Structure 1
């Protein structure tokens, strides 16, 4: 949720003018999340609450939100049980959101920033992965596979952008620069942090940030030149089989944003013998967005409710079970599985706008509720897609 909030905030900062009437909706969505994150960070001194609900128990139930009766265990990180990764990401979300509200809600912006500073200090001072502290409460569902150094970099990068405080830049430099990345996701933030820091060189003409720019371009080369990135025959970026679309939308966001930065000074760079321009990145990004919206071998829109042909059996409890308005009686855990999960019937409720995990490496898509890697939507897929969608909507509005 914190990563989703950071990405939606970044989308709003970069593309807010192109969101039109949706800008107010974006701010409302961000505030819904940051209100919660502030409570998580301030309810108990020295504690950051990071999860509610036993994921193992929750996965045993297929029921509507209105009917949830699974145990609501509360999980937190602290000085003795650190979680630099989840704290760093929470700090990033609060700092990025503080920039979103700086003009429209100055008092709330100040609260966000002051809370972000405290959470970041906690992340830096008490280091450790939250997976190690919380174990089965977060693994194997959301383990910190990449460690916590990337979140420390990411959180500090956002706080530096929000404050211009040189201590954050000094901390960023102290982390070193030896981590190469060919992915960007809720778990691995290295590429995103480097694109964010590159703005200082490409837009603000601050040459001291060129090392981050070179790292960002090393990442872009891995995407553009196919050195570590494969593409389906239909042209979709394919990173990992588990919910691949999360990597597509996140990396596409970096492509459009870095392209936008490059365009300000007509900057180019080389990937071997290939000259990469802002247009190179923009064209690749547009192919990904077009594919998601239906320009693919199956002519399937992977955004639910968009177009005529979209996933009808998504892996989503509220979408797949008859609504409370139609059937106010409770469905139990097992009844939900038997009556709704295992059926081949389309979901009765359309989760409009949700982007699902997407097709396999051969452009195949079974539209099977039981295949979560293809049919499950996630906030971190959608949040990263907002920026590219706004960018291209603005670009082609005329």
Structure 2
């Protein structure tokens, strides 16, 4: 199961202004679920619980998904370091640092902007961030070195085995002065900085540790520039999480989060000074583990719309362009929509685009609402309320308002995917089958037509294709595999709609 690139821009699909207005009106006519419909609070709880199913390392006593057990307890030993913990990225047993750091940044942003709407789920969301940051601190403990992957992905992807059983090489990969990785280092700095805000009042000492480490990691990323897949790591990583977009956006992204976390003038000056250089190959309507441009524009626009960032005006202009590029019916719309109204971008795991772009829609709508502003897309004025409705439509589609009447979150609703592409979920648990299941012995479970024996509650799969069709089969990993970076922004979306249905 190789990872395919997910960040190529979609083909332009034109809509008329009349179609756009009809689409917005159709959002108004969707069922309202504040009384007896979608239970956003339940979906929020499950979306956070999913991360416990992705945990690597020694599991804590309060682990709630009990069918998962300790795994990968010797990670890092071959390099003389402790790299236990962290998250498996998807349905495999590899720890990829690039998407894990992005997951951490988006989980933190979800808490920063929408934590007050999480209620009793907030401690679980904070714990999900800390499980990642504890690992990222280990991965960045040596000056001038960042450990960016644990496990030989090629070997792992040839096997279908539980993380508790895995016997494939746990090879350790790193970037350093001689083999730079400004992309993964910049994202790691962003993750640590964003998380430092989450812990600022909850654990000041831990927050300071995170921020101090973010400063060091960013300095390394900036001084030793290069993409981590351009050198020795190319063959190990590029079939899975290759940097297609370049490292420039991660430098701006890291600086933006360091500015937000530290309020140090040097990071604002860095952003303004390097803006033109680091905007190379920008695509305004992309946001994910490989491309941060839309996220940078929305994050920095908050200060502009609140009247505190005249020197950042260009980012606000680009944020508005992002909005106009993803709305159906606008002349430069660059995102396709399925007949059921789901955003669609070519590549695998489409739901990652749906949740990340919807998160930006919601975050920007909140910033605009506080500033009493709208977005102009040609002759059309797009209000914050319209952006919220579009984001909510995407969330509701995920939860079951779609042509198949299927929830794409495991364990939510009456009908949801039963055969997700996920090793631990699809194989018998250690409790049910204590004996080891070898690399190739797991194949019969992979090919079985039976539902997975273990519910990975809260997992959001890759989702249907452009025609709203979904094959509930492990062999269709583009559609049936969950990822941490799909769920991370959804946490913020569900938190908001649980309080603002």
The question of a shared fold, defined as TM-score above 0.5 by the shorter chain, is answered with yes
Q: Which of residues 165, 171, 179 in structure 2 aligns to 1:73?
A: 171
Aligned equivalent of 2:135, options 36, 45, 48: 36
Match of 2:499 in 1: 394
Cα drift, residue 382 of structure 1: 0.3
Show the counterpart of 2:114: 15
3-state SS in 2 of match to 1:31: helix
Aligned to 1:274: 380
Partner residue in 2 for 1:311 = 417
Aligned to 2:320: 217
What does the per-residue CA deviation read over 1:68-89, in whole Å, with 9 as the maximum and x for residues that have no partner? 1000100000000000000000
TM-superposition CA deviations, 1:187-234 (whole Å, max 9, x none): 100110110001101235433322111111101110114521110000
2:261 corresponds to:
162
Partner of residue 195, structure 1 = 298
2:143 is equivalent to residue 45 of structure 1 = yes
1:351 correspondence with 2:456: yes
Which residue in the other structure is 1:261 paired with?
367
Q: Does 1:121 align with 2:226?
A: no
Moved more, 268-277 or 302-311: 268-277
| Correspondence for 1:296 | 402
Structure 1 CA distance, aligned partners of 2:422 and 2:309?
Answer: 46
Q: How far 1:384 moved relative to its partner? A: 1.1
Map 1:63-102 → 2, pairs under 5 A:
63-102=161-200
Distance 2:494 2:123 in 1: 16
Residues 362-391 of structure 1: CA deviation (Å, up to 9, x unaligned): 000010100110000000000011111111
Higher helix share: 1
Which of 219, 224, 234 is 2:340 aligned to? 234
Give the Å deviation of 1:180: 3.3
Q: 1 CA distance for matches of 2:222 and 2:177?
A: 11
Q: Is 1:60 aligned to residue 158 of structure 2?
A: yes
SS at match of 1:50: strand
Find the aligned partners of 1:240 and 1:280 in 2 and give their Cα distance: 25
Distance 1:129 1:265 in 2: 38
Q: Aligned partners of 1:60 and 1:72: how far apart in 2? A: 14
Query: Secondary structure, in 3 states, of the residue corresponding to 2:393?
Result: helix
Per-residue CA deviation, residues 146-187 of structure 1 (Å, 9 max, x unaligned), is 110111111000001011112112221213146232111111
Residue 111 of structure 1 is matched in structure 2 by 209
Bigger shift: residues 297-306 or 163-172: 163-172
Contact 1:225 1:271 in 2 (8 A): no
SS at match of 1:181: coil
* In the alignment, structure 1 residue 385 sits paired with structure 2 residue 385: no
Counterpart-to-counterpart distance in 2, 1:241 and 1:96: 28
Deviation at 1:307, TM superposition (A): 0.2
8 A Cα contact 1:149 1:175, kept in partner: no
* Alpha-carbon distance in 2 for matches of 1:208, 1:147: 25
Moved more, 218-227 or 149-158: 218-227
Q: Which residue of 2 aligns with 1:366?
A: 471
Residue 250 of structure 1 corresponds to 356
Which blocks of at least 5 consecutive residues in structure 2 are unaligned?
1-99
Q: Structure 1 stretches of 5 or more lacking a match?
A: none
1:144 and 2:243 correspond: yes
Q: 1:214/1:225 Cα in 2 relative to 1: closer, same or farther (>3 Å)?
A: farther
Is the contact made by 1:260 and 1:278 (CA closer than 8 Å) also made in structure 2? yes
Please list the CA deviations of residues 329-348 of structure 1 after superposition, one character each: whole Å capped at 9, or x if unmatched: 011111101x2001111000
What CA distance in whole angstroms lies between the structure 1 residues aligned with 2:145 and 2:313?
Answer: 37
Indicate if the aligned counterparts of 1:186 and 1:380 stay in contact, CA closer than 8 A.
Answer: yes
Q: TM-score, normalised by structure 1?
A: 0.97
Query: What SS does the aligned partner of 1:142 have?
Result: coil
Number of residue equivalences: 394
Give the whole-Å Cα distance in 2 for the aligned partners of 1:208 and 1:36.
Answer: 36
